């Protein structure tokens, strides 16, 4: 009996004496998945919070996660003894193990030139249009990020008030929405092409911007013949043009060009934020203004439907809490989720590398 107890204790201590025991390979995949999901969800909340803050005329902000360090400490202990006050004498012992996780997050507030670049710099057409090559719906992309195409304006009615000098002016909004609707049809049918031409860098000279071209292929499909013809007409394609260069600008284009006035991220967020429906008591208290009625034109409704309420949502794609209310995008609203995801992508494209400034390091103990 005594020999059996000693052997049992020796075998129990073996894992604690084994120096080759490692938890790193076990935790790597699990931590990578968990932290990746956490960072993505955090960025979604930050975007929605900026939308809501703009709705209340509050200052938007960015806090980038620049570093993540996750450390582990495995503590092992064992003891053995003999109880001399009992008969017969019996050995006793114990095993103990403790795993400690100590992640450290480093954040950097986006300020100065990086803030101006992220929020105020218009998104270049050569950066925007290639997103449609990856399958993103071009109509949603342009409604969010484009202010005008040639003489066709995407200026929303809520940016003007009744009684303004230009209130009676029609900035060809109808043509704009007709154009992006037809572009989406051509994209889905494979007749729309977007080509990106990289410009080689010349030593000693500043790098030129890349060139992006939009092409519309011919078709014999009777259902698409009128769509192709109307789209080429709206974009001023000549009978000999197979593609047109898309350039940044406003007004009448030169032959062979499509002028696109793209928005900054502040404008993109503002267009969505001003259409968020807020509770009536928030309007009466003066915290924000009433939402402009957009029900007269279906195409002018907000791309991202943001709901609000005192109770936390049960099925939310993303939600935040602001000024005693929850604001969220419903998980079952696919169209709003697509537009929100595109907005997230545009946010990432607008970011730039920044010089180290104020850093916020937060150690977390478990």
With respect to residue 242, please indicate whether it lies within any of the assigned structural domains: yes
Is this prediction's pTM over 0.75?
no
Whole-angstrom Cα distance, residue 301 to residue 275? Answer: 8
With respect to residue 22, please indicate whether it lies within any of the assigned structural domains: no
**Residue 8: predicted pLDDT:** 47
* Together in a domain, 156 and 274: yes
User: For the range 63-67, what are the long-range contacts, defined as Cβ-Cβ under 8 Å and sequence gap of 24 or more?
Assistant: 63/107, 63/108, 63/109, 63/110, 63/360, 64/107, 64/108, 64/109, 64/110, 64/351, 65/39, 65/105, 65/106, 65/107, 66/106, 66/107, 66/108, 66/359, 67/104, 67/105, 67/106
DSSP secondary structure, 14-60, as one string: HHHH-TT---HHHHHHHHHHHHHHHHHHHHHHHHHHHHHHHHTTPPP
* Together in a domain, 8 and 154: no
**Residue 159: predicted pLDDT:** 45
Whole-angstrom Cα distance, residue 346 to residue 174? Answer: 25
Residue pLDDT, tens place only, 64-111: 666 656 555 556 666 666 555 555 666 666 666 665 666 666 766 666
**Residue 207: predicted pLDDT:** 47
Residue 66 has, within 13 A of its CA and on its CB side, a CA count of 19
Whole-angstrom Cα distance, residue 50 to residue 331? Answer: 19
- Are 71 and 331 in contact, with CB atoms under 8 Å apart? no
Q: Which two tokens stand for residue 298?
A: 């279906």
**Greater model confidence, 173 or 53:** 53
* Together in a domain, 275 and 346: yes
**Residue 16: predicted pLDDT:** 46
**Greater model confidence, 245 or 133:** 245
Q: State mean pLDDT over 134-156.
A: 90
* Together in a domain, 94 and 243: no
With respect to residue 359, please indicate whether it lies within any of the assigned structural domains: no
Q: Which two tokens stand for residue 256?
A: 């062979």
The fraction of the chain above a pLDDT of 90, given in percent, is: 36
* Together in a domain, 82 and 193: no
* Together in a domain, 138 and 58: no
Domain that holds residue 11: 2-17+27-111
With respect to residue 97, please indicate whether it lies within any of the assigned structural domains: yes
With respect to residue 238, please indicate whether it lies within any of the assigned structural domains: yes
With respect to residue 363, please indicate whether it lies within any of the assigned structural domains: no
According to DSSP, the β-strands at 192-197 and 211-216 are antiparallel
* Together in a domain, 128 and 72: no
With respect to residue 119, please indicate whether it lies within any of the assigned structural domains: no
With respect to residue 366, please indicate whether it lies within any of the assigned structural domains: no
* Together in a domain, 13 and 136: no
**Residue 38: predicted pLDDT:** 77
* Together in a domain, 155 and 95: no
Cβ neighbours around 347 below 10 Å, total: 19
**Residue 217: predicted pLDDT:** 92
**Residue 76: predicted pLDDT:** 61
**Residue 167: predicted pLDDT:** 47
Q: State mean pLDDT over 352-363.
A: 52
* Closest C-alpha to 347, from 355, 335, 339: 339
**Residue 206: predicted pLDDT:** 45
* Number of domains the chain contains: 2
Residue pLDDT, tens place only, 272-289: 898 888 888 888 888 888
**Residue 95: predicted pLDDT:** 64
* Together in a domain, 107 and 130: no
Name the DSSP class of 206.
P
* Together in a domain, 81 and 155: no
- Degrees (nearest 5) of the Cα angle 40, 43, 44? 90
Whether the per-residue pLDDT at 296 is higher than 50: the answer is: no
Residue pLDDT, tens place only, 146-203: 999 998 988 765 444 444 444 444 557 889 999 999 999 999 999 999 998 877 665 5
Classified as helix, coil or strand, 78 is: strand
Domain boundary among the residues 111, 145, 177 is at 111
* Closest C-alpha to 68, from 101, 98, 92, 19: 101
Banded model confidence at residue 113, pLDDT cuts 50, 70, 90: confident
Q: State mean pLDDT over 218-230.
A: 93
Whether the per-residue pLDDT at 294 is higher than 70: the answer is: no
């Amino acid at each position: 009996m005594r020999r059996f107890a000693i052997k049992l204790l020796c075998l129990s201590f073996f894992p604690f004496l084994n120096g080759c025991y490692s938890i790193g390979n076990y935790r790597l995949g699990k931590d990578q998945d968990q932290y990746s999901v956490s960072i993505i969800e955090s960025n979604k909340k930050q975007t929605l919070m900026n939308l809501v803050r703009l709705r209340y005329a509050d200052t938007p902000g960015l806090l980038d996660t620049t570093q993540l360090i996750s450390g582990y400490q495995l503590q092992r202990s064992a003891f053995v003894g003999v109880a001399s006050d009992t008969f017969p004498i019996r050995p006793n012992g114990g095993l103990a193990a403790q795993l400690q996780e100590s992640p450290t997050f480093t954040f950097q507030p986006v300020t100065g030139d990086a803030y101006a670049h992220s929020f105020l710099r218009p998104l270049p057409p050569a950066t925007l249009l290639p997103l449609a090559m990856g399958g993103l719906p071009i109509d949603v992309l342009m409604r969010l990020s484009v202010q005008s195409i040639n003489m066709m304006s995407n200026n929303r009615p809520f940016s003007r008030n009744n009684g303004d000098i230009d209130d009676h002016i029609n900035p060809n909004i109808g043509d704009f929405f007709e154009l992006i609707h037809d572009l989406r049809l051509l994209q889905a049918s494979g007749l729309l092409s977007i080509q990106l031409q990289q410009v080689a860098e010349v030593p000693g000279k500043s790098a030129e911007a890349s060139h992006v071209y939009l092409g519309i292929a011919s078709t014999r499909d009777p259902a698409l013949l009128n769509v192709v013809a109307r789209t080429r007409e709206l974009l001023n394609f000549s009978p000999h043009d197979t593609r047109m260069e898309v350039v940044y600008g406003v007004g009448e284009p030169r032959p062979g060009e499509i002028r696109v006035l793209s928005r900054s991220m502040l404008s993109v967020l503002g267009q969505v934020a001003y259409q968020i429906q807020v509770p009536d008591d928030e309007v009466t208290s003066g915290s924000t203004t009433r939402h402009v009625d957009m029900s007269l034109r279906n195409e002018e409704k907000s791309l991202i439907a943001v709901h609000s309420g005192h109770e936390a949502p049960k099925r939310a794609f993303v939600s935040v809490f602001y000024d005693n209310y929850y604001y969220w995008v419903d998980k079952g609203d696919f169209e709003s989720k697509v537009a929100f995801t595109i907005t997230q992508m545009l946010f990432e494209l607008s970011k730039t590398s920044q010089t180290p400034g104020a850093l916020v390091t937060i150690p977390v103990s478990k």
